[in-house]
Chain A
Amino acid sequence: MWLSSDKTGWRRRALVLTVFSAASGAALPALAACPAVADAPASAFPAQLEIEEAAAAGLALTFTENPLFAADVAAGKLPPVKDRLPEQPLIELPYETCGTYGGTIEGTSRSAESGTADILSWRQVALVQIADDLVTIVPNVARSWKWNDDYTAITFELRRGHKWSDGSPFGPDDVVFYFDDIVNNKDISPEPTREWGVNARAKKIDDTHVEISFDAPFPGLLTYMATSGSYFTPFAPRHYFEKLHGAYNANADAEAKAAGYENWTKRFDDVWDKWMDAQTLTATGLEIPTLESHVLELEPTTEQRLFKANPYYFKVDSSGQQLPYIDRVHERFLNADLQLLAILNGEIDFKAQGTSLQNYPTMQESTEKSGYEILMPAGASGPILAFNITHKDPKLRAIYSDLRFRQAISHAINREEINQVSYFDLGTPTQALPPALSFSKPEDSKYMIEFDLDKANALLDEMGMKKGADGVRTFPDGSPFTILWEYSSQFAAPEFVKLMSDYFKSVGLNVNTKEQTSEATRENAKSAISDINTEWDIPYEPTLIADVNLYTPYYSEISPLFGVGWRQWANSKGAEGEEPPAWAKEMYTLADEWRTVLPGTPRYAEIGRRLIDLNLENMTIIGTVGNIPKPIIVKGQLHNVKHDMPVVHFNYGYIYPYRPEQWFRAK
């Protein structure tokens, strides 16, 4: 089991190391005072050490703290740093060097719950984390974990002496509270959630161990927790929320009424939020303890939020300095245009979310004047489209469900041109395929993407869609054929629709385009009366591990691409909906199995491989341009920023894999 940390293994290696260094004595160069990622001592996980590993590597750690807290410690308001850190802190190796304390990072989001995931990811914690290779799951709040044999239960080891930002102990009770009293409380969560596994529940084993179990195997849980689930943490400060909870406080209802709420659940709903950044929206955010690297310092306004370093944060650098180095994080709420101006003025230290490639040339102009650098990791994949194979209208359905039609479309699209027109030629023409899959082949992304009008025309001719005197194709029976493309700018940019319709017209397909609201688009998609549905992104692998149905028809629950009836059929085991064709049935069977296999195993790759083939062979979704770089702004004074981040995307928890808690400002 590659995910579970084998502690006897650690000890053995530790022993070998000690013996080795004792034998070679002075000949061995002493370990640097602050080993960085490049000269990392041996450890079970990359770029981080547990306390035993540090001791084994001969790393002497004296815990020191940010001078920001010195006055409070001297006044007795805060205990000294060694008492604030867990007995088993996580030791993090810096990318460049151990930093110096102080400074504020200037950031910006759009609004209270709009574009805030980036800044949340700077301070975020979760039970586990994904390493910057974007594959390895590494310990974070949890020290280690152990699965049972069929992946229906996992035991986490928490850190002894870990404390919330108010100094209260953090432990298994906080995890149990999250599951028993929030997720499984019918008053607070009337809809059952599957995100932590089917019917997930938690059990305290001892003071540092907690078990989460579910009814169906879910080996993808850790990946989910570390990536697209990192915005939610499956623990909550029990000692704080107990006071608001009807099951623990007999007066909770009365107190809620006094505070102006209908009942305690309304109040709880208001204070607690699944999204971790929504808990810091109001003044109550000042009271809710957290494990994050920075805690809310001032009452948030409609203009800004200010966060201050958490004195109880559980990580230290490799010289024993408590993280984070940065005193404060300042988040200003600005609209998109002003964000750009603020970046150009050099007012922003780091920005990953919401920077559009369209603004790349403009941002490039001011790099020197304003002292920032633009990093270009991979961001989202480009827009995809799908013809409605399960259209309500039988005549249209006959056309759209004909594989030759969809293949013709794929050949009619000039992807190079889209790349030049919309992405400065920085993307890569591609077939619709989740990006950077561990089990895909390079040729998958090139499947039938050649721009070949002859081939497209031949396929359409073969279908019997004859061209009339005006060069416009008809239904095989000779009646006029028109694609009605009703799109909303949320899912497809108008320029994209314009380019695409021109391609369709170039092979004699008549298209009418009409912009409408997102809601209307979704309603039409759900009732299977839209001709074309689009999506602007395909999820990365971790998100598929948690929910592979994003890669089987209907692809999206709230805005299906096609196959609504098929999905109903599969969900109801054939009682409702309409029977899918054999290939779709196979996809559903594979998807069900996928959830039960451990990521990275041969069977996992096999299923993934087959899903790719089924999608490509049936030309289910049609891709355009992928691998679109995402401009990221980093101010020069900011250090320990990983400069070669492979991907920055919501699906990976934005900056969370790249350890922003070790950023520091050069003086």
Chain B
Amino acid sequence: MTRFFTRRLLYTLATLLLVSFVSFMIIQAAPGDFAEIYAAKKADSGAVISAAEIEEVRRELGLNLPWYAQYGRWLKNALQGDFGQSWTWRRPVGEVIGERLPLTLTIAFATLFFMYAVSVPIGVYSAVRRYSFGDHAASFIGYLSLAIPNFLLALVLMYLSQKHFGQSVGGLFSPQYSLAPWSWDKFVDLMQHLIVPVIVLGMAGTAFLIRAMRAAVLDELDKMYVLSAKASGLSPMQLLLRYPVRIALVPIAATLGWRLTYVISGAPIVGVVLSLPDMGPLFLGSLLNQDMPLAGALIFLYCALTIIGTFLSDVLLVALDPRIRLE
């Protein structure tokens, strides 16, 4: 077990290092640099920017160094836990991300909760009442939600909630609550704003889980032990929940890690579309501005969360399913 963990951990670190290198190269490969884009934005608003001012920004940020020197400097500091200053926000990267991380995680975990809370009962129902109207309806909605890209769903739901429910779009609070201290009303406001992102992010995953849950329960329902338990006179509900569902839940629970990964990696697009104050728009902005320190740290974080999710899944599988042997 210890060997398994250490090996996994080493792979994880190597992957992270590789990812940081590749992402740095990709960002560098894009034409222009932060100074150019900064100047373009200023010029766009009508300001007259001189070449000397652009050079000054480059000099201040060390953009005139070759890429390997920039990468080396970044990596050296990152290894010491210092991700530097975001050039756009002019604040430490840790602080900027720290501002957004709680909401990113809130949305991720709320979505996870939503997915499991919805999919498990429906999956079980579909399996037990196979080919009933309810099963077909669940399947239909499920396929539909798997097929709709989540950014499109986000746009549609955003439009509906703005047009018909008069809800303010963008952000997780209405303007009057965004500066107010925490209160019950503010909490309710937050919950109202969470509905759309959670549905959007969780829709496809939920549909997938319903199918998986349905198949797993169906597998169990035909087994001999179910038949014999039924014959012994166990009440149908008790039987269902105590045996087939419990067994069917093992593989579903084990995918928790992947689901987390899935939610995290889907979040940036949804976050951008809905303009949530999570890491998504921050990430896109940092890439567009070529804000290297921020973009680097965010890619690093996304990858780390993904890798941690996968790692968690592996561990859960090993822990829950005794059939899996290490070596």
Check: A152 CB closer than 8 A to any chain B CB: no
A462 in contact (CB, < 8 A) = no
Bitwise interface map of A from 332 to 365 toward B, beta carbon under 8 Å scored 1, else 0: 1011011001100101000001000000000000
Residues of A in contact, count (CB < 8 Å): 53
Q: Does A100 contact B (CB under 8 A)?
A: no
The answer to whether A112 touches B55, judged by C-beta atoms less than 8 angstroms apart, is no
* Chain A residue at smallest Cβ distance from B89: A112
- B70 to chain A minimum Cβ distance, whole angstroms, is 16
Which residues of chain B from 21 to 56 have any CB-CB distance to chain A below 8 Å in the complex? Answer: 31-32, 36, 38-41, 43-56
B170–A338 CB distance below 8 A: yes
Q: Which residues of A contact B85 (CB under 8 A)?
A: 270
Question: Which residues of B pack against A, CB within 8 Å?
Answer: 31-32, 36, 38-41, 43-56, 59-60, 85, 88-91, 96, 99-100, 162, 166, 168-171, 175, 178-179, 275, 277, 281-282, 285
B105 to chain A, nearest CB (A): 16
Question: Complex: how many Å from CA A337 to CA B45?
Answer: 17
Contact A341 B162, beta carbon cutoff 8 Å? yes
CA distance A519 to B50 in the complex (A): 15
Q: List 18 A-B contacts (CB under 8 A).
A: A113-B88, A190-B56, A190-B59, A191-B55, A281-B90, A302-B96, A302-B277, A303-B277, A306-B179, A332-B175, A335-B281, A347-B175, A353-B45, A518-B40, A519-B31, A539-B48, A649-B46, A650-B46
A111 with B285, Cβ < 8 A, contacts A345-B169, A519-B32 known: yes
Cross-chain contact of B48 among A270, A282, A517, A547 (Cβ < 8 A): A547
**Contact call A302/B89, Cβ cutoff below 8 A:** yes
Contact present for B170 and A112 (CB under 8 Å): no
Q: Is the CB of B275 within 8 A of A191?
A: no
State whether the Cβ of A293 lies closer than 8 Å to any Cβ in chain B: no
From the candidates A228, A270, A332, A517, name the one contacting B31 in the complex (CB within 8 A). A517
Which of chain B's residues have a CB closer than 8 A to the CB of A341? Answer: 162, 169-170
Q: Could you tell me if A231 and B41 are in contact, using CB atoms closer than 8 angstroms?
A: no
Smallest beta-carbon distance B289→chain A, Å: 8
Query: Is A16 part of the binding interface, using a Cβ–Cβ cutoff of 8 Å?
Result: no
Look across to chain B and name the residue whose beta carbon is closest to the beta carbon of A193.
B52
Using CB atoms, name the residue of chain B closest to A282: B91
Q: Residue B275 contacts which of A335, A353, A537, A558 (CB distance < 8 angstroms)?
A: A335
A353 to B44, CA, bound (A): 11
Do A557 and B169 touch across chains, with their CB atoms under 8 A apart?
A: no
| Selected contact of B46 from candidates A306, A537, A559, CB within 8 Å | A537
CB contacts (< 8 Å) of B282 on chain A: these are: 302
Chain A interfacial positions (CB closer than 8 Å to B): 106, 111-115, 117, 190-191, 193, 228, 231, 269-270, 278, 281-283, 298, 301-304, 306, 330, 332, 334-335, 337-338, 341-342, 345, 347, 353, 380, 490, 517-520, 537, 539, 543, 547, 550, 556-559, 649-651
Q: In the complex, which residues of chain B have a beta carbon less than 8 angstroms from the beta carbon of A283?
A: 91
**Which of B43, B45, B99 contacts A558 (CB under 8 A)?**
B43
Contacts A231-B47, A345-B168, A490-B44 known; list 19 others, CB within 8 Å: A106-B175, A113-B38, A113-B41, A190-B56, A191-B53, A193-B52, A228-B46, A270-B85, A282-B89, A282-B91, A303-B99, A303-B277, A304-B178, A335-B281, A519-B32, A520-B31, A539-B48, A557-B51, A558-B51
Q: How far is the CB of B83 from chain A (nearest CB, A)?
A: 12
* CB-defined contacts of A270 to chain B, threshold 8 Å: 85, 90
CB distance from A114 to the nearest CB of B (A): 5
Question: Once bound together, how far apart are the Cα atoms of A304 and B52, in whole Å?
Answer: 31
Contact across chains for A302 and B46 when beta carbons are under 8 A apart? no
**B47, A228: Cβ atoms under 8 Å?**
yes
Compute how far the CA of A282 lies from the CA of B51 in the bound complex, rounded to whole angstroms: 27
